[in-house]
Chains A and B, each alone.
Chain A
């Protein structure tokens, strides 16, 4: 298990020292995170890292997971889609399933939750727990990891009634914030530099991944890692690739994404991508299992050009991952990508396949510039989007909640331990 000290090598001693100072007034505080799964998905991935680190800093942290039948998770999956703007059918009894499962879970968790100083509820699945804890003594926060910028109104109106009873919410971007009667904190997501997806790899491991998928390691590689989703514009990436290939005939394209078992459109988009790729043997469409973290890491490190040509994007952690590996990214001018790609410094923001192709040719023609942009890109992530930064923001928010809504919170001076 990683400890906070392990991050010194990545962030420097100062950052870790600040975390310890910030955590000092929170020592012993009972904090409970609640979500709906221990494994799979970004939330579980972040919590599996955050919780041990918060414990390591002296907080009394628990991570609880709610349980439910298949029908419950079908409901919450449809809620998830609806909150991201997809109109979903609301069949009879849908809200009853949601509420009953919430009540069942509260029986098991009530004593823990009511005793906690801070309860952090992740995403919509465990939202109803608050109502079942009338004797709660702590502050309750709803951490929304979803792009809530244009929610499907009937579902949001229903869930908002639960959210309104919380003491605070946390959203990833200002665009996702909603009119709510409580304070709404902003906290972008983060990547873990020590995880399989982001840890350093040897050149041999990178080479092995290329050979595994039949890529020629001596030729140029353009890469996009993303689900097969129209908003990620994989067909646009193929068009860009073709425009670049006219000037760089050795170019190979890799479109790597997870298997789309839970995405009804995924198969259709994948078929469109394969059709667009046609018989071009230099286009590699890879369907990877959900735990192929090291493979993705190796492909990102081995790529000469990294694309994330999304038309819409919540945050785009694949951009963060590539930037962390010192790769300038050519990304769609959308959503959270704009926070990460500082145009001409950490990559290029583009609106069309043509624009993406032009920038790709520029990077190939100016390898020194690409190298320099990559160096800045890594620094950008180090300063803004690493797990340690996320941890600092969590601690700051907890302090802010405890001390109240004053503009400047001066923590009590105590002598150094």
Chain B
């Protein structure tokens, strides 16, 4: 089978992650869908690194993981502090910045 299929799989996973971000209301689930999108991108990177025979793709995937970890830390801290004040974990409840 053509290793290109990994790319298609990555595209599908990314799409599903985007769908989750747009559909779900719980902040944690949205965050997890974002993680899914990041992982799908990582898969694509690794596939490309295999395609080109260079390890640069893996390095980038590595850095993506680092940044994703940092982002998860901060993002969850934000969710917790929002939850403490508002007692709600729904992203729709943080809607005061409106007309």
Physical interaction between A and B = no
> B: which residues have CB within 8 A of A?
none
> A: which residues have CB within 8 A of B?
none
